[in-house]
Amino acid sequence: MSDHILEMRHITKEFPGVKALDDVSLEVRRGEIHALVGENGAGKSTLMNVLSGIYPFGSYSGEIVYDGKVCHFQKIRDSEKSGIVIIHQELALVPYLSIAENMFLGNERGSAVNIDWNETYAKADELLAIVGLKESSHTLIKDLGIGKQQLVEIAKALSKNVKLLILDEPTASLNESDSMKLLNLLKDFKNHGVTSIIISHKLNEIAYVADQITIIRDGTVIETLDMAEQQVDEARIIRGMVGRELTNRFPARVPHVQDEVVLEVENWSVQHTLYSDRTVVDDVSFKLKKGEVVGIAGLMGAGRTEFAMSIFGKSYGNSIRGTLKIHGKEVALSNEREAIKHGLAYVTEDRKGNGLILTNPIRVNTTLARLDKVSHRHVIDLDLEHKVAVAMKEKLGVKSPTVEQDVGNLSGGNQQKVLLAKWMFAEPDIMILDEPTRGIDVGAKYEIYCIINDLVAAGKSVVMISSEMPEVLGMCDRIYVMSQGKIVGEMDAKSATQERIMSSILSVNKGA
Amino acid sequence: MSSKNTVLWEKTKSFLLKNTMVIALVLVYLFFVARSEGRMFLPQNINNLIMQNSYVVILAVGMLLCILTGGNIDLSVGATVCLVGAIAGVLMVNLGWNIYLVMVLCLLVGIAIGVWQGFWIAYVRIPPFIVTLAGMLLFRGLAQAILGGLTISGFSEEYLAIFNNYVNIPALDGGAIKYSSIIFGVICCAIFIVSAIWSNITKKRKGYNAEKPASLYTKIILLCSIVMLLMYKLSKYKGIPYILLWLIGIVAIYTYITAKTTFGRHFYALGGNEKATKLSGINTNRIYFMAYVNVSFLSALAALVVAARFTSANPAAGTNYELDAIGSCFIGGASAYGGIGKVSGVVVGAVLMGVLNLGMNIIGVDSNFQKVVKGLVLLVAVIFDVVSKRRAVKSFV
């Protein structure tokens, strides 16, 4: 059992002021699937960056033994040559090149001055067959969904004769069935002798696929669990990650639902922004009461984000039709400013792309949606702004030394909190949270759930769009299920189950 | 290295990184002083530095707002300077209209040009590069048509005085030393000292992070000595040029707008992340529009300055001015991707360009070679900026 493909010994990596990794040792057996788990900022990605040569030899202390040899990787190319391939969370494919061109980018078939396209496409098709992707290798990446792109990345790794495959949150943006496919593929690889290291926040998937689990917390290894030797369930992993027993992943909820309907949408239809013959939201009717948390469940691409954004001052879509009533009065919100004025807030699913200004400090991001609250006659009171930003930071528990820290330097969970702070500062009556816990760790998730509960306790209403069904079930009073642009089910949270939600999604698919 | 030394080194490093361009400016200046046997430091040359670069500062401030919106530039400012100058020449000299009326009309023409370009850029979303490239040809052509290819000279003394004269208070400025400029310097320093200390006290009282006394006083002493030195030099020449007052006014107004108003904040937000800014309820189209209206307005103002300085309106006026303005912004630390940049930085950038021009002229560098030097300085400044930022990001993670 001591055939280790990889041993990382006493790795310590420091950044100015922070010890990101502190004497970390990791042993990976040949041909296993090894999971790395830990809260955001625990040091998982740093460890993998050390391994793959992103942080060159010499910038850390400790030793890497790979395939029986001590390795001194200076750059990614060095590690790839010896068969270590890392697939990052953000996919690195060129949208306007074909699958095959992407697969052999930087590793072209033929010679540098004479690329052998026949071999390129033939080899690409071969690899696509292995990963089970039924697409021509001539297809452009931009025409593929995110799940298929993930498979292309894996095929690309295979083209480099991978022996050790590292996947950083491979299923973060995949739906359940695509995730399942991917995990089974990894198991398949295992049988062909490829070792994998998988970093993930989705504990059920890890429990399903991993042979060993290493838990990292605050830059140190807490423990390594061997799935063959002991029964490991999600609660056991969570305990290791957060250092405490999270008996309940959702805070206790007291219903605050009142009778008043604050938001009512009737017969709402929206066309796609670019292809106006495509209907993305189809005749949706929707109600939200005061003090209520309403969930919108569904798979990715069901039209939930488009629906939310079209309500929020028509920030998405073409030829929007239907009526929108806020507090019983029909309103026409023609832009985001109007929406904010009417007490709406939309907290985006894409915090980096649509939510935050990464190059600006926490202070600026906090007040951006309501600068008028900290200014008199368009002149900003910088002292007051500083004060409210500090107050929001402390209220939400953002971990950062000052509010002058640029948001781009914060971890995902803290960025999400700044985004929430920004919209809570706008004091809306109705908050639409789009995937509020995507890509953040269990501890931060719990804190965000608490914030949601506080909001409804204060008489606000919340719409929560989420692809994680346990979260929808655990946090909402009422659930709408959306599929292919339509509302296909509405259920009370008490009577709802994952199975019921899934079956109403599938019922539409069968029909269509 | 002991930890105390490391901390000190880290502090020095961050100070150097923050003030690279100021330090570069001082070094370049001292270099020219040494090479010119002190001529660079003569009162007359310091006066020339201000007179020659006034238009660059005005244009660069306008350009900064465009660049802030996302690295967008305005190629048409030089042509706008030429067109507005031509209109001023025709109306004031050929037709003999009232100069103040004409000045107002000229500024309105500037705004009209901005509205024209801003409309296409902000509301029709034609790329700024293309709109302003078209503007560059369009306005230059119109100017040459108006002038008929000829130079108009003979602006009235009354008009020239507005930009070219010096502060002259008979009681103070009768002798060889113009005391008014020294008094002006003292007043400036006093205002600066009082406001700096006052804001620090309020910060402390309200419980915010106040600056440490050492760094506060160093800053005060450094800035005041520079101001006093400048004023002393001017006092030995002709006193304070009016144009300096214009510049102080413009720089002060735009510093305030960018740092303290919601309007200014929106520019930084837009350049940082347009989608997030839009979803925050900010009218992003209007910001683009205002950026281009503003730059054309300031170009018109620069045109009046340029016409007065050359005492003429000619068809080649303003050639390559856009490049000086863009260069000043990037040397002054504006990000080529938008969202980052300060008015004070741009002023430093403009002065650095001016010092290079003047210094190379004084020590007699061949004019072809001068372009080579300026090009390299621009490239090196941006490379340094990008590389040092990349380091800072990497070392954090």
Which residues 333-352 on chain B approach chain A with CB closer than 8 angstroms?
339-340
Domain boundaries, chain B: 21-165+242-385, 167-240
Minimum-distance CB partner of B395 among A15, A339, A368: A15
Is the domain of A189 the same as that of A171?
yes
* pLDDT on residue A40: 62
Using CB atoms, pick whichever of B266, B272, B281 lies closest to residue A336: B281
Span A102-121, mean pLDDT? Answer: 85
C-alpha to C-alpha distance for A510 and A239, rounded to whole angstroms: 41
Pairwise CA distance, residues A467 & A451, whole Å: 19
The residue written with tokens 């930071």 in the block is A393
A469 vs A359 pLDDT, higher one: A359
Higher-confidence position of A153 and B176: A153
Task: State which of A209, A242, A275 marks the end of a domain.
Answer: A242
Question: Is the model more confident about B214 or about B91?
Answer: B91
- Residue A219, min C-alpha distance to chain B (Å): 14
- Per-residue pLDDT for A54 more than 50? yes
Measured between CA atoms, the residue of chain A closest to residue B204 is A383
Element (H, E) at A375: strand A375-376
Residue A1 scores a pLDDT above 50 = no
**Mean pLDDT confidence for A72-96:** 84
Contacts of B203 in chain A (CB under 8 A): 383
pLDDT at B397: 35
* A32 and A91 housed in the same domain: yes
User: Please, what is the average pLDDT of chain B?
Assistant: 89
Rounded Cα distance between B67 and B294, Å, is 12
Provide ipTM, 2 decimals. Answer: 0.79
Task: Tell the residue number behind the tokens 């004479």, with chain if given.
Answer: A114
Same domain, A218 and A358: no
Between the ranges A245-249, A270-274, A442-446, A473-477, where is the mean pLDDT highest? A473-477
- Name the residue with higher pLDDT: B286 or A141: B286
pLDDT band at B215 (very low <50, low <70, confident <90, very high): confident
State the average pLDDT over residues B195-224. 80
Q: How many CA atoms lie within 13 A of A144 on its CB side?
A: 27
DSSP A406: B
Q: Determine whether the interchain pair B208/A339 forms a contact, defined as Cβ–Cβ distance below 8 Å.
A: no
Q: Which of A132-136, A286-290, A447-451, B271-275 has the lowest mean pLDDT?
A: A132-136
B265 touches chain A (CB under 8 A): yes
Give the residue from B238, B211, B302 showing the smallest Cα distance to B45. B238
Q: What is the pLDDT of residue A43?
A: 82
Higher pLDDT, A450 or B172: A450
Domain holding A144, by residue range, is: 4-242
Q: How high is the pLDDT of residue A248?
A: 67
Report pLDDT for A245.
Answer: 54
Same domain, A335 and A363: no
Residues A164 and A36 reside in one and the same domain: yes
Reduced to 3 states (helix: H, G, I; strand: E, B; else coil), residue A4 is: strand
Residue B391 confidence (pLDDT) above 80? no
CA A189/CA B335 separation, integer angstroms: 46
> With contacts defined as CB-CB under 8 Å, which chain A residues touch B10?
16
Q: How far is A363 from chain B (nearest CA, A)?
A: 12
Q: Do B283 and A346 touch (CB under 8 A)?
A: no
**Spatial CB neighbours of A249, under 8 Å, sequence gap ≥ 6:** A238, A442, A445, A446, A470, A474
CB atoms within 10 A of CB A194: 20
Q: Which of B265, B275, B279 minimises the CB distance to A371?
A: B265
Report chain A residues whose CB lies below 8 A from the CB of B281.
313, 335-337, 339-341, 369
| SS3 per residue for A491-508 | EECCCCCHHHHHHHHHHH
Q: Which two tokens stand for residue A98?
A: 């074909």
As beta bridge partners, residue A326 has A263, A329
CA distances from A426 to A264, A370, A371, A421, B282 (A): 21, 6, 9, 9, 13
What is the pLDDT of chain A when averaged over all its residues? 86
Closest chain B C-alpha to A134 CA, distance in angstroms: 35
- Using the Cβ of B7 and the Cβ atoms of chain A, whether some distance falls under 8 Å is answered with no
Predicted local confidence at residue A246, as pLDDT: 52
pLDDT at B107: 97
Integer Cα distance of B13 and A55 in angstroms:
23
E strand residue ranges, B141-256: 152-153
Write the DSSP string, A188-253: HHHHTT-EEEEE-S-HHHHHHH-SEEEEEETTEEEEEEETTTS---HHHHHHHHHSS--S-SS---
Would you tell me which residues 151-170 of chain A have a C-beta closer than 8 angstroms to some C-beta of chain B? none
Residue B396 pLDDT greater than 60, yes or no = no
Which residue would you say has higher pLDDT here, A247 or B143? B143
If phi > 0 it is left, if psi is from -120 to 50 it is alpha, else beta; for residue B74 that is: beta
Q: Is B3 on the interface with A (CB under 8 A)?
A: no
**Chain A contacts in chain B segment 198-257 (CB below 8 A):** 202-203, 206, 208-209
Among A427, A457, A487, the domain boundary falls at A427
Q: In the listed set A427, A447, A462, which residue is the last one of a domain according to the structure?
A: A427
Q: Is A255 left (phi over 0), alpha (psi -120 to 50) or beta?
A: beta
Return the structure tokens found at B21: 């361009």
Higher pLDDT, residue A400 or A242: A400
Name which of B265, B277, B396 is nearest A409 (Cβ-Cβ).
B396
- Nearest-CA residue of chain B relative to A381? B260
B322 pLDDT band (50/70/90 cuts)?
Answer: very high
pLDDT band of B1, cuts 50, 70, 90: very low
- Subunit contact B273:A358, Cβ cutoff 8 A: yes
Residue A116 has pLDDT above 80, yes or no: yes
Cβ pairs bridging A and B (under 8 Å):
95
With a cut of 70, say whether residue A41 has pLDDT above it: no
**Do A267 and A214 fall within a single domain?**
no
Backbone angles phi, psi at A15, to 5 degrees: -110, 160
- Same structural domain, A69 and A179: yes
Which chain B residues contact residue A335 at CB under 8 A? 281, 283
On the question of pLDDT at A17 being above 80, the answer is: no
Q: Report the DSSP pairing between strands A261-271 and A220-226.
A: unpaired
pLDDT bracket for residue B392 (50, 70, 90): low
User: Topology of domain B21-165+242-385, per CATH?
Assistant: ABC transporter involved in vitamin B12 uptake, BtuC (1.10.3470)
Average pLDDT over residues A156-185: 84
Interface test with B, best of A47, A344, A357, A388 (most B CBs within 10 A): A357
**A59 CB near a chain B CB, below 8 Å?**
no
| pLDDT tens per residue, range A221-278 | 888 888 888 777 777 777 777 665 555 678 888 888 899 999 999 999 998 887 777 7
pLDDT band at residue A78 using 50, 70 and 90 as cut-offs: confident
**Residues B202, A402: C-beta atoms closer than 8 Å:** no
When pLDDT is averaged across residues A76-87 and rounded to a whole number, the result is: 87
pLDDT at residue A96, rounded to an integer:
85
CB contact under 8 A, A402 and B209: yes
CATH number of the domain to which A270 belongs: 3.40.50.300
A36 touches chain B (CB under 8 A): no
The lowest-confidence range among A287-296, B15-24, B364-373 is B15-24
Q: How far B389 CA lies from chain A's nearest CA (Å)?
A: 11
Higher-pLDDT residue of A210 and A107 is A210
Q: How confident is the model at residue B167 (pLDDT cuts 50, 70, 90)?
A: confident
| CB neighbour burial string for B286-323, b if at least 16 within 10 angstroms, e if fewer | ebbbbbbbbbbbbbbbbbbbbbbbeebbbbebbeebbb
Task: Assign B16 a pLDDT band (cuts: 50, 70, 90).
Answer: confident
The band of A219, judged by pLDDT with boundaries at 50, 70 and 90, is confident
Asked if A482 and A298 touch (Cβ cutoff 8 Å), the reply is yes
Spatial distance between the Cα atoms of A26 and A362, rounded to a whole number of angstroms: 36
Nearest residue to A436 via CA among A344, A303, A366, A347: A347
A411 with A487, same domain: the answer is: no
Is B353 near chain A, with CB under 8 Å?
Answer: no
| Binary contact (B279, A375; C-beta < 8 A) | no
- For A354, which of B208, B263, B275 is closest by C-beta distance? B275
Do residues A393 and A493 both lie within one domain? no
Count how many Cα atoms sit within 13 Å of the Cα of residue A438 in the half-sphere of its side chain.
Answer: 22
Q: How many domains does chain A contain in total?
A: 3
